[in-house]
Amino acid sequence: MNDLTRLTAREIAAAIAAGETNAVDVAQAHLDRIAKIDGQLHAFLHVDSEGALETARRVDAGEISGPLAGVPLALKDVIVQKGVPTTVGSRILEGWRPPYDATVVERLKSAGVVILGKTNMDEFAMGSSTEHSAYGPTHNPWDLDRIPGGSGGGSSAAVASFEAPLAIGTDTGGSIRQPAAVTGTVGVKPTYGGVSRYGLVAFSSSLDQAGPCARTVMDAALLHEVIAGHDPRDSTSIPSPVPPVVEAAKQADISGMTIGVVKELSGEGYQPGVEQRFAEAVETLTGLGAKVVEVSCPHFAYALPAYYLIAPSEASSNLARFDSVRYGLRVGDDGDRSLEEVMSLTRAQGFGAEVKRRIILGTYALSSGYYDAYYGQAQKVRSLITRDFTEAFALADVLVSPAAPTVAFPLGEKLSDPLAMYRQDLATIPSNLYGGPAMSLPCGLSDGLPVGLQIMAPTMRDELLYRVGAAFEATMPAPVPPLDWEA
């Protein structure tokens, strides 16, 4: 076989099933590649060679089979895996080894997916560049001096650089789709409740959703079907069948569909090169037989401020559990200090600046005197955004926009300007507030850097993303980074 790391997940599974290769060789090829290049990329926080090879051996022994058996995967470090360090990109959980598997991990394991290790991320998934990781940033394989997106930049960089054909991300405000956009990969945020949140370290519970990262739409669909489905351990999990996403990716036919271009997701803040590629993508969709209409979602303009009240509010509550008693770091516990002092020292040292900013913002927004003015108001905006989506989906089957307003920016560029960082999520946040599924897939390059096309669908209609995505993908070869930095 040629270089096993260049194969898609589907090709790997087929080659293993046909006996042309075996899962151990595939796992080893990816582990070797990580050993060779990850010093430059820093996509991984922890590599679990032993665990990966053990699963691969079980697949080769015929103990596990299925459509993704023996396929390597990189897991965002926000998802707990029994016995494997889980840091969430934070010092506060350094050294913590979870005593159980997330439902997502359970499902991956029983499908024979080979988990290579844990990927880097912005601390507690707060950010758009991985620069807020307490363990240093990840680099974009297209240009090592640029960001790979965030918060799941480790997952997207691993997939784009052929360290893994698949990865898991989580998307609260765009953390699967924006990294996919800026690394030229495919990323999907499923319908809220489509994939269990059990075992995800919580950021904003009404928004958090795990989903697939891959290099092709079909690979994302295969992974989607493995991880999705009802889980009684997550009370917001949807108790109905998983949308037929693999079938839809095979169908890849959009003739007769109506596609809505969202007027509000363009203009100010969007780079001309991004808008250019997006306009061409819309032309392509028309050429494929879709009817394209313009739709207006007037409240999308308020999505960003609403999100930056709701998400920090929920985070301020969720992060209260990092109290120096239950998990991870404990600072200053010398026997003389009170519990409150130890707690405060631990949180002061264990959390980074962005996490503290969010906790302070959220605590303020929830305080009794301001609750109605901030949190209450943001919830109303959330309802209006949902109404915008409902009205738009009466006119169009799916909506499209650029997935990120810019191409990958240089490391350091937005670090001193939190609002500029937040604006990376302009196009992705509306779907989170509404709860509907959305995908980013590559639609060409601008200045040699990838641009992402976002497709948004009504809740529980995830298959529509794959139908449109696969049809579009067929018109354009998957982009491959130059990788000229490789030793």
Binding mask 119-158 for ligand GLN (x = CB under 6 A): ------xxxx----------------------x-------
Measured from the CB of residue 429, what is the shortest distance to ligand GLN in angstroms?
A: 8
Catalytic residues: 76, 151, 175
Task: List residues bridging with 214 in a β-sheet.
Answer: 166, 186
Q: Does 174 help bind ligand GLN (rule: CB under 6 A)?
A: yes
Q: Does 175 help bind ligand GLN (rule: CB under 6 A)?
A: yes
Q: Does 361 help bind ligand GLN (rule: CB under 6 A)?
A: no
Helices 23-41 and 49-60 cross at an angle (nearest 10°) of 160
Nearer to ligand GLN, 207 or 468 (CB): 207
Task: List residues bridging with 72 in a β-sheet.
Answer: 114
Q: Which stretch binds ligand GLN (CB under 6 A): 50-58, 173-181, 230-238, 244-252?
A: 173-181
Closest residue by Cα to residue 466 from 284, 258, 222, 287: 222
Nearer to ligand GLN, 48 or 131 (CB): 131
Nearer to ligand GLN, 203 or 270 (CB): 203
Q: Does 311 help bind ligand GLN (rule: CB under 6 A)?
A: yes
Binding mask 203-242 for ligand GLN (x = CB under 6 A): x---------------------------------------
Measured from the CB of residue 426, what is the shortest distance to ligand GLN in angstroms?
A: 11
d(CA 127, CA 418) in angstroms, rounded, equals: 9
- The letter for the amino acid at 121 is M
d(CA 270, CA 435) in angstroms, rounded, equals: 24
Tokens matching residue 2? 């040629």
Dihedral sign (CA 381, 387, 390, 394): negative
**Per-residue b or e along 242-266, where b marks 16 or more CB atoms closer than 10 Å to that residue's CB:** bbbbbebbeebebeebebbbbebbb
| From 60, 225, 425, 462, residue interacting with ligand GLN (rule: CB under 6 A) | 425
Tokens matching residue 141? 């394989």
Nearer to ligand GLN, 8 or 151 (CB): 151
Q: Which of residues 27-86 bind ligand GLN (CB under 6 A)?
A: none
Nearer to ligand GLN, 174 or 190 (CB): 174
Binding mask 241-260 for ligand GLN (x = CB under 6 A): --------------------
d(CA 401, CA 265) in angstroms, rounded, equals: 6
Nearer to ligand GLN, 59 or 311 (CB): 311
- Site size for ligand GLN (CB under 6 A): 13
| From 5, 172, 237, 406, residue interacting with ligand GLN (rule: CB under 6 A) | 172
- The letter for the amino acid at 109 is K
Q: Does 171 help bind ligand GLN (rule: CB under 6 A)?
A: yes
Give, in degrees to the nearest 5, the angle at Cα 40 between 35 and 45: 65
Residues 185/217, Cβ–Cβ less than 8 Å: no
d(CA 2, CA 187) in angstroms, rounded, equals: 26
What residues contact residue 385 under an 8 Å CB cut-off, 6+ apart?
297, 299, 300, 302, 303, 306, 430, 433, 434
Q: Does 179 help bind ligand GLN (rule: CB under 6 A)?
A: no
**Contact positions toward ligand GLN, by CB under 6 A?**
125-128, 151, 171-175, 203, 311, 425
